[in-house]
Amino acid sequence: MSETAASETKRETRPFEAEVSRLLAMMVHSVYSNRDVFLRELVSNAADACEKLRQKALSDPALAVESGSLAITITADPAARRLTIADNGIGMDHDELVDNLGTIARSGTRAFVESLEEGADSNLIGRFGVGFYSAFMVAGRVEVVSRKAGAAEAWRWTSDGKGSFAVEPADPAAAPERGTRVVLDLLDDAEDYATEATIERIVTAHSAHVPVPIALVLEGGLAEKTLTDGGALWRKAKSAVTPEEYRAFYGHVGHAFDEPALTLHYRAEGRTEYSVLLFVPSEKPFDLFDPERRNRIKLYVRRVFVTEDAAILPPFLRFVRGVIDSEDLPLNISREMLQKNAVLDLIGKGVTNRLLSELAKLAESDKPAFEKIWTAFGPVLKEGLYEDPERRDALFEIVRFRTTKGTMRSLKDYVADLRPNQTEIYYALGADEKTILASPQLEGCRARGVEVLLLADPVDAFWVRTALGYDGKPFRSVTQGSAALDAIPRAEEAASTEAASDAAVATLGARLKQVLGDAVSEVRPSTRLVDSPVCLVAPEFGPDRHLERLLAGREGPEARKAAPVLELNPGHPIVAALAARAAQGGEAAAKVDETAPVLLGLAHVLEGDLPQDPAGFGKALSRLIADALA
């Protein structure tokens, strides 16, 4: 019998089961959104084969390979529209070719479709062989030639992906000495995948850090180009990586040109294993305030790129760049769309806590470096105070503030400098620091040497309202409720002034409330005023004045506002004079009624707002000026 006839007797043609054509059509057109993924899948399979050989050699010395001898070779033939991906890994025998490349047939279309529809949390690519079958997105025919490590026989698997596959012996002389060769006859519209530029682009983007070197062979095998060296920077020990390598990798993974302010490189072991190489930039990325607030962390599984869209870190750490590489993270059917699972949650929690810990250490050990981070990303980090109560305590150790005592002040610094009898952390909200510092509500704190946090970021109005406090000290707005400053001694004795009596101020307050009506909820004497005659504060349990402005701007003219409290400074000459007139009653008290709209309008102006009734304020002020000049 001739060699050809002998070969024909051993050739097997097996039909795919259960409507495989429909299944492949679904996989090609629905599962993968980008045809580039086929090369990533085939390279991933080749890398896995090499890793399996390394593992097998540990128990079988006969399979031992020389260090650095394992490799993946991609051969491109643009003229023939042919692409070949070869490895010298573990290889496959006859049964493994049938099992591994016929998994769809064995598992059945129904099981595959049901698993896909139910969103199973196991590695469906491995279970159903879909990774390999992605080759049919670009190829009209696929040939696989493989020789099992240590075996003499080689086998060939072929299919057009439409209804059947064939398995037959391969010519030993033409087969790999060990490993697998996958040959794709590309479709007319996929010929670009046999060009150097396209191959290099895909490998660089998706497989640059697989644990096996990748070479590209062109021009009939006469030219070879190394695409990757098989080394993953994040898998190396920190001591083996130079600062220049870190900077170069940061530029690549973060598409950045600045210097990283913090580099975090470690390997986690325990319930799940993963490697981490993350960078905190020193300058703001262009998309820092993109409404989607997406992460830009590249996720790998066993050194194969999966996605940079997985929600690994919380949105308040979206400025971090880098790589997380999991050893055991399960995937859904598409590597572009990770399924929510406990392993990913565990990784995210561990990495987030480590990042916050490292930022806290940097804040103490290298203040200039941390100041760069805070200047660029402070408002974003403070989003976590509002969104992530579980990590609020950790964030409190990181956040820094501009205060009436200086910049980059921590809450720890604040508490250490509390004045005698001070039991609260005072803060003031506003559109900007200049406006806040001009607020009359700060006068009482300033006179007593009480430090005030100057909160000018929009997120401040929200987190400070939900935070209980720090180190047992609650937060207190200087523009809300009673100031509670009486127990705190003044830093210096105030100049002696002729203050109105409590009874006279009470009479004046009642008169002003009667005139102003619903425009104010209360009129009362103030302990927070020193130089200004009046100020407005929010009721004890209402929203802060600045928060109310923010909400009004969001909700529009229909937003409901709580009537503010008008506070009077009994020691101010204007208030003392008006209190005396109110106590006299009769015609003298009528001047109080004329002055009431001016006092309320002045209170609005002092905090940077327009009077509620600008026209009325203007008329009343004009009358007072005219009377004074008469």
List, as residue ranges, the binding site.
41, 45, 87, 92, 100, 107-108, 180, 335
CATH number at residue 203: 3.30.565.10
- Count of domains in the chain? 3
The CA distance from 83 to 216, in Å, is: 11
* pLDDT tens-digit readout, 171-187: 999 999 999 999 999 99
Q: So what's the pLDDT on residue 3?
A: 43
pLDDT at 596 over 90: yes
For residues 279 and 608, the model is more confident at 279
Please give the residue range of the domain that contains residue 187.
Answer: 3-228
- Mean pLDDT for 94-121 is 59
* pLDDT tens-digit readout, 487-503: 899 876 655 556 778 89
Whether 506 is in a domain gets the answer yes
CB count within 10 Å of CB 25 equals 13
Cβ–Cβ under 8 Å, residues 216 and 225: yes
Cβ–Cβ under 8 Å, residues 192 and 184: no
Q: How confident is the model at residue 607 (pLDDT cuts 50, 70, 90)?
A: confident
Q: So what's the pLDDT on residue 27?
A: 59
Q: Where are the beta strands (DSSP E) in 369-435?
A: 401-403, 406-409, 425-429
Whether 415 is in a domain gets the answer no
* pLDDT tens-digit readout, 390-431: 999 999 999 999 999 999 999 999 999 999 999 999 999 998
The region that residue 43 occupies, defined by phi over 0 for left and psi between -120 and 50 for alpha, beta otherwise, is alpha
Least confident range from 87-91, 269-273, 550-554: namely: 550-554
- 142 and 283 in a single domain? The answer is no
Please name the residue that has the structure tokens 């057009």.
160
State the maximum Cα–Cα separation within the chain, in Å, rounded to a whole number: 133
CATH number at residue 593: 1.20.120.790
The CA distance from 609 to 607, in Å, is: 6
The CA distance from 542 to 548, in Å, is: 9
The CA distance from 172 to 178, in Å, is: 11
* pLDDT tens-digit readout, 194-248: 999 999 999 988 888 788 999 999 877 778 999 998 888 999 999 999 999 998 8
Identify the helix (H) or strand (E) that includes residue 505: helix 502-516
pLDDT at 1 over 90: no
Cβ–Cβ under 8 Å, residues 52 and 178: no
pLDDT at 528 over 60: yes
Closest CA relative to residue 333, chosen from 157, 485, 111, 65: 111
Which residue, 318, 343, 373, sits at the end of a domain? 373
Q: So what's the pLDDT on residue 16?
A: 60
Alpha helices in 60-102 (DSSP H): 94-101
Which residue, 350, 373, 396, sits at the end of a domain? 373
Q: Which two tokens stand for residue 211?
A: 């644990």
Cβ–Cβ under 8 Å, residues 509 and 523: yes
For residues 177 and 342, the model is more confident at 177
Q: So what's the pLDDT on residue 5?
A: 41
pLDDT at 148 over 80: yes
- 305 and 181 in a single domain? The answer is no
Which residue, 228, 247, 268, sits at the end of a domain? 228
The CA distance from 541 to 66, in Å, is: 74
pLDDT at 627 over 90: no
- 150 and 265 in a single domain? The answer is no
Q: So what's the pLDDT on residue 296?
A: 86
Closest CA relative to residue 140, chosen from 122, 158, 154: 158
pLDDT at 553 over 70: no
Q: So what's the pLDDT on residue 537?
A: 93
Q: So what's the pLDDT on residue 24?
A: 64
In the predicted model, what is the mean pLDDT of the chain?
86
* pLDDT tens-digit readout, 248-302: 889 888 878 889 999 999 999 988 999 999 999 999 888 888 888 888 898 888 8
Least confident range from 78-82, 242-246, 583-587: namely: 583-587
The CA distance from 385 to 460, in Å, is: 9
Whether 509 is in a domain gets the answer yes
The CA distance from 167 to 151, in Å, is: 17
Closest CA relative to residue 609, chosen from 561, 558, 568, 555: 561
- 91 and 69 in a single domain? The answer is yes
CATH number at residue 264: 3.30.230.80
Q: Which two tokens stand for residue 81?
A: 């529209």
DSSP state of 480: B
List, as residue ranges, the binding site for ATP.
41, 45, 87, 92, 100, 107-108, 180, 335
Cβ–Cβ under 8 Å, residues 550 and 507: no
- 266 and 328 in a single domain? The answer is yes
Q: So what's the pLDDT on residue 120?
A: 39
pLDDT at 8 over 90: no
- 131 and 274 in a single domain? The answer is no
